[in-house]
A and B are shown apart, each in its own frame.
Chain A
Amino acid sequence: MTEVKNLEELFQAKIDAEQKIEPKDWMPDAYRKNLVRQISQHAHSEVVGMLPEGNWISRAPSLKRKAILLAKVQDEAGHGLYLYSAVETMGTSREQTIDDLLSGKAKYSSIFNYPTLTWADIGAVGWLVDGAAIMNQVMLCRTSYGPYARAMVRICKEESFHQRQGYEIMAVLAKGSPEQKEMAQDALNRWWWPSLMMFGPTDANSPHSAQSMKWKIKRQSNDELRQTFIDRTVQQAEVIGLSIPDPDLKWNEETKQYDWGAIDWTEFNNVVAGNGPCNKERLAARNKAHDEGAWVRDAAVAYAAKKAKRKAA
């Protein structure tokens, strides 16, 4: 007992001294569990996130936009791979992690349960969803677990590209024809609040946050990150002449930040509980790809085994 306590103290001292925890280091079970859950959720979000955006590859309105979108969705698949590898460093296999997604046991970011209805949604997703993700991910570049932090450094560079490309789509639409501007505004209206929900519950309702902060898995609270995102994004919307769908939004001279309206947490809880507009479709699509791919994966394994056997013979 005292030995575990000492190990825990040493572990915490290491974290306090800003040293990274590496896979072979001792770590408390709760730290490991917490990280496996967080990193695998993150990995699943990258992979499920390919679906709403992939939805527009065949219909992108110019070849240049098609190429940019293909490359973006491909980047997200890469992010999923790095993150599944990061989970594996904690002793959980990729198969097991993916099985938890497919069975519905594991969560992924609820934002991807919203549909992409028009081309402008591709702009809004890049600008707002990748934009909100970056807030979290920049923070995670300094997270205490080494492999996760290093995966984030690679990922962040690409995410900021995605954010800029999304914003550029919106900027072009906003200064285009009246129909295009309307399309852009409509997309902003639909994606704004779900994007704010991406930061998770308010600090008051976020019971695990304190422990995550102590372990330096997180370094900023949900509310802090959300506020930074709002302050930044409101100004970006102004530049391209779109309006934020929040009647309570106004600049506060005293706090030097925006005051804003209330998030509809009932909607948030509903989507988390599986009742979002596309929860069923997303999971069904992942399961279909997995099931239909089974014979392909089996063939690869069987061929590799035959080849190894022939080589040995």
Chain B
Amino acid sequence: MSQALFTYTLRLADDILILSQRLGEWCGHGPVLEEDIALTNRALDHLGEARNLLTYAGQVEGKGRSEDDLAYLRMERQYTNAKLVEQPNGDYAHTMVRSFLFDAYHLPLMQALTKSNDAQLAAIAGKSVKEATYHLRASSEWIIRFGDGTEESHQRAQAALDNLWTYTGELFESDAVLEEMTKAGIAPDIATIKEAWSKTVDQVLSEATLKRPADAFMMTGGRKGLHSEHMGFILAEMQHVTRAYPGVEW
């Protein structure tokens, strides 16, 4: 039980930590100052949630690992985030579509987790719901602006959607860990999250006049630590100072 809870919590944490790391790359380089602020805010909110989840994962594991031990001292094969969040920022359409596809999953997940039988996860989710609501609203608005903006923005948004769609299936995969968590009333039934996600996606894409890509081949592997080649570079950059000076305070 505690092994499955550890794995499950870590997955939640890794998704949001790696997405935060990616979004942080925009800081100082956004398309307009207000968006720079908004993106950094997103990165900060995600990082805050990741820290709560990592700290909790460390407690569940019971081996004395801190949030930083888990973030900085695991290699890519031990990271269990979905591949969607490790995809490069690309243009602003890619960044926003990636966030939108994630936000539309993240909000119903957090809402459902507030009713989790695990009090700690419920509390962490409770703190995140307000932010997640705001994130989804903001990314939806951009998708609509892009889709129904100029010809160029429409094309860019559709291209991003077509590129990233293959990474959405992984968010709703089930396995023994998730089944155990769902049975214990800790995780929600992932099918209901997918339903909510799908509804949001349809609504927003229709208002944006964008086409929902067909559910063709879906990428997988992230939950087992089988990542894209991007992952090693993300971690190399993120971890190098911490690894170069082991065991010190910062």
* Residues of chain A whose beta carbon lies under 8 Å from any beta carbon of chain B: 47, 50-51, 53-54, 57-67, 70-71, 73-74, 77-78, 80-81, 84, 119, 169, 172-173, 176-177, 179-180, 285, 288-289, 292-300, 302-303, 306
Asked if B36 and A77 make an inter-chain contact with CB atoms under 8 angstroms apart, the answer reads: yes
Query: Inside 8 A of B67's CB, which chain A residues have their CB?
Result: 63
Asked if A74 and B249 make an inter-chain contact with CB atoms under 8 angstroms apart, the answer reads: no
Given pairs A70-B40, A295-B152, A297-B32, 17 additional interface contacts (CB within 8 A): A50-B27, A58-B25, A59-B237, A60-B241, A61-B241, A61-B250, A62-B72, A71-B40, A73-B27, A77-B36, A81-B33, A289-B30, A293-B31, A296-B92, A296-B153, A299-B146, A306-B148
The main secondary structure of chain B at its interface with chain A is: helix
Query: Inside 8 A of A177's CB, which chain B residues have their CB?
Result: 245, 248
Query: 11 A–B contact pairs at CB < 8 A?
Result: A62-B242, A74-B37, A74-B44, A77-B28, A77-B37, A177-B245, A289-B28, A289-B29, A289-B30, A295-B153, A299-B145
Asked if A54 and B27 make an inter-chain contact with CB atoms under 8 angstroms apart, the answer reads: yes
Most chain B beta carbons < 10 A, residue from A57, A60, A169: A57
Cα(A77)–Cα(B43), bound, Å:
15
Cα(A77)–Cα(B250), bound, Å:
25
Give the residue of A73, A81, A173, A180 whose beta carbon is less than 8 angstroms from that of B28.
A73
Docked complex: B130-183 residues within 8 A CB-CB of A: 144-146, 148-150, 152-153, 156
**Given the contacts A61-B241, A62-B250, A295 and B47 also touching, CB distance less than 8 Å:** no
* Residues of chain B whose beta carbon lies under 8 Å from any beta carbon of chain A: 21, 24-25, 27-37, 40-41, 43-44, 47-48, 50-51, 54, 67-68, 71-72, 91-92, 144-146, 148-150, 152-153, 156, 237-238, 240-242, 245, 248-250
Cα(A297)–Cα(B36), bound, Å:
13
Give the residue of A57, A78, A173, A295 whose beta carbon is less than 8 angstroms from that of B27.
A57
Asked if A63 and B241 make an inter-chain contact with CB atoms under 8 angstroms apart, the answer reads: no
Query: Inside 8 A of B43's CB, which chain A residues have their CB?
Result: 70
**Given the contacts A63-B68, A81-B34, A179 and B245 also touching, CB distance less than 8 Å:** yes
Query: Inside 8 A of A70's CB, which chain B residues have their CB?
Result: 24, 27, 40, 43-44, 47
Query: Inside 8 A of A292's CB, which chain B residues have their CB?
Result: 31, 91-92
Count of inter-chain pairs, beta carbons less than 8 A: 136
**Given the contacts A61-B241, A300-B145, A66 and B37 also touching, CB distance less than 8 Å:** no
Q: How far is the CB of B86 from chain A (nearest CB, A)?
A: 13
Q: How far is the CB of B110 from chain A (nearest CB, A)?
A: 19
Query: Inside 8 A of A298's CB, which chain B residues have their CB?
Result: 149-150, 152-153
**Given the contacts A62-B242, A295-B153, A67 and B47 also touching, CB distance less than 8 Å:** yes
Asked if B238 and A300 make an inter-chain contact with CB atoms under 8 angstroms apart, the answer reads: no
Closest to A52 in B: B28
Asked if A63 and B51 make an inter-chain contact with CB atoms under 8 angstroms apart, the answer reads: yes
Give the residue of B27, B152, B237 whose beta carbon is less than 8 angstroms from that of A299.
B152
Cα(A64)–Cα(B249), bound, Å:
11
Give the residue of A67, A80, A179 whose beta carbon is less than 8 angstroms from that of B48.
A67
Q: How far is the CB of B57 from chain A (nearest CB, A)?
A: 13
Most chain A beta carbons < 10 A, residue from B27, B67, B145, B237: B27
Cα(A306)–Cα(B28), bound, Å:
30
Asked if B149 and A302 make an inter-chain contact with CB atoms under 8 angstroms apart, the answer reads: yes
Query: Inside 8 A of A294's CB, which chain B residues have their CB?
Result: 31
Cα(A306)–Cα(B150), bound, Å:
10
Q: How far is the CB of B91 from chain A (nearest CB, A)?
A: 7
Give the residue of B44, B50, B241 whose beta carbon is less than 8 angstroms from that of A71.
B44
Q: How far is the CB of B81 from chain A (nearest CB, A)?
A: 15
Q: How far is the CB of B1 from chain A (nearest CB, A)?
A: 27
Most chain B beta carbons < 10 A, residue from A51, A285, A292, A302: A302
Closest to B92 in A: A296
Q: How far is the CB of B112 from chain A (nearest CB, A)?
A: 26
Closest to A293 in B: B31
Q: How far is the CB of B170 from chain A (nearest CB, A)?
A: 24
Cα(A214)–Cα(B54), bound, Å:
57
Cα(A280)–Cα(B153), bound, Å:
30
Q: How far is the CB of A114 from chain B (nearest CB, A)?
A: 16
Asked if A180 and B245 make an inter-chain contact with CB atoms under 8 angstroms apart, the answer reads: yes
**Given the contacts A67-B47, A172-B250, A293-B92, A54 and B71 also touching, CB distance less than 8 Å:** no
Cα(A288)–Cα(B152), bound, Å:
18
